[in-house]
């Protein structure tokens, strides 16, 4: 493989730029030609493809979002769309592709590979940490720290006014941001989609906390909790707990932006370099990830067949320390 392309697809996440930089510079280090494909599979189909060199990725390591931009692309679900995409690559002699995105983007890459023989390697980029095959995704740590910063600020005002604060954080399919930010932020309670939420338990826990002398509490809610959003849960609790005054804050898309943390930049750098090496080795159909301290390559299917799960021990830790 002498010529490769790199694209970002699906939802953006902080650290994608650090990933693009790592791919471009690693490839150039090995004397390869690199193309940047703008707007994911949409740009691929349209031929929005530009050569990239080491200087084109200067000054982006600290920037959130993705300089290549990203998109969702309906046509890529169809064989005809993928055929056009493959032709755009072949026209330029691009034999390998690094796809930075989530499991949906890998499904597209897998189809492109099996139908047209383009070698594809994935890098996990999403704030939700909801991709199997890796302990962490690029962007999760930054989003977690943004959520934590919000929790810290809300705690200041909660304590000053003896109030209950609900903080709704991102996480439609899992409670990673919620659980980690709740532990790090010293929250009283956390509600995540992985465990069934009991409003009764929450009410009892808050009443007990009050009896132990706690006059303010922070409750973290993952947006995808099966019991509903933070506002719905807060209303139900207020009807039954001793805490009548409460405030709900939805952090929302603030969690998607911002300068990536050192953790995310280093993760992106390691995975980007590995992705390029994998293409040099002639590998395909794999995603890069971390397993403990190691950078690993796993089949794309791990992304959707092995949903990343947090250890139930975190829930216990949370409960014990909220005393």
Nearest to 23, CA basis, from 49, 48, 56: 56
Whether 125 contacts 147, CB under 8 Å? no
Gap between the Cα atoms of 155 and 138, Å rounded: 28
Residue with smaller CB distance to ligand ADP, 106 or 180 = 106
DSSP string, 2-20: -EEEEEE-SS--TTHHHHH
Give the helix/strand (H/E) hosting 153: helix 140-161
Residue with smaller CB distance to ligand ADP, 137 or 217 = 137
In the complex, which residues of this chain contact ligand ADP (CB under 6 A)? 9-11, 41, 72-73, 76-77, 101-105, 107-108, 111, 126
- DSSP-based three-state secondary structure for 246: strand
Concerning whether 128 is annotated as a catalytic residue, the answer is yes
CB 113 to ligand ADP: min, Å:
11
DSSP string, 83-122: HHHHHHHHHTT--EEEEEE-HHHHHHHHHHHHHH--EEEE
- 226: which 2 tokens? 């099966």
CB 78 to ligand ADP: min, Å:
8
The strand pairing partners of 168, in sequence order, are: 221, 250
Whether 244 contacts 236, CB under 8 Å? no
Residue with smaller CB distance to ligand ADP, 114 or 319 = 114
CB 81 to ligand ADP: min, Å:
8
Residue with smaller CB distance to ligand ADP, 13 or 217 = 13
CB 201 to ligand ADP: min, Å:
33
Sheet holding 33-37, edge to edge: 49-52, 33-37, 3-8, 96-101, 119-124, 286-291, 294-299
Residue with smaller CB distance to ligand ADP, 85 or 260 = 85
Choosing from 12, 103, 128, 225, the catalytic residue is 128
CB 3 to ligand ADP: min, Å:
22
> For 282, left (φ over 0), alpha (ψ -120 to 50), or beta?
left
**Chain residue at closest Cβ approach to ligand ADP:** 104
Torsions phi, psi of 166, nearest 5? Answer: -100, 130
Gap between the Cα atoms of 214 and 195, Å rounded: 25
Q: How far apart are the first and last CA of the chain?
A: 57
Sheet holding 246-250, edge to edge: 189-191, 217-222, 164-169, 246-250
Residue with smaller CB distance to ligand ADP, 126 or 197 = 126
CB 105 to ligand ADP: min, Å:
3
CB 87 to ligand ADP: min, Å:
16
Residue with smaller CB distance to ligand ADP, 130 or 141 = 130
Return the active site residues: 128
């Amino acid at each position: 493989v002498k010529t490769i392309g790199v694209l970002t697809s699906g939802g953006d996440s902080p650290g994608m730029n650090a990933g693009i930089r790592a791919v471009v510079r690693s490839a150039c280090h090995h004397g390869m030609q690199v193309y940047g494909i703008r707007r994911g599979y949409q740009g691929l189909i349209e031929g929005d493809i530009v050569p990239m060199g080491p200087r084109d990725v200067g000054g982006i390591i600290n920037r959130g979002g993705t300089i290549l931009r990203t998109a969702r692309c309906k046509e890529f679900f169809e064989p005809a769309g993928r055929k056009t995409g493959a032709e755009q690559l072949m026209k330029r002699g691009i034999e390998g592709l690094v796809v930075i995105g989530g499991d949906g983007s890998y499904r597209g890459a897998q189809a492109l590979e099996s139908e047209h023989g383009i070698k594809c390697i994935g890098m996990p980029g999403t704030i939700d940490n909801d991709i199997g095959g890796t302990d962490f995704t690029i962007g999760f740590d930054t989003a977690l720290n943004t959520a934590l910063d919000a929790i810290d600020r809300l705690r200041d005002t909660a304590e000053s006014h003896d109030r209950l604060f609900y903080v709704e954080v991102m996480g439609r399919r899992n409670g990673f941001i919620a659980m980690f930010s709740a532990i790090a932020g010293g929250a009283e309670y956390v509600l995540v989609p992985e465990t069934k939420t009991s409003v009764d338990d929450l009410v009892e826990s808050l009443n007990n906390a009050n009896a132990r002398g706690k006059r303010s509490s922070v409750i973290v809610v993952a947006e995808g909790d099966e019991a509903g959003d933070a506002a719905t849960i807060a209303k139900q609790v207020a009807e039954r707990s001793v805490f009548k005054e409460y405030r709900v804050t939805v952090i929302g898309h603030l969690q998607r932006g911002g300068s990536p943390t050192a953790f995310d930049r280093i993760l992106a750098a390691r995975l980007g370099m590995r992705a390029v090496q994998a293409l040099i080795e002639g590998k395909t159909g794999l995603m890069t990830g971390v397993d403990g301290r190691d950078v690993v390559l796993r089949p794309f299917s791990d992304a959707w067949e092995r949903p990343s799960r947090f250890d139930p021990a975190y829930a216990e830790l949370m409960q014990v320390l909220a005393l």
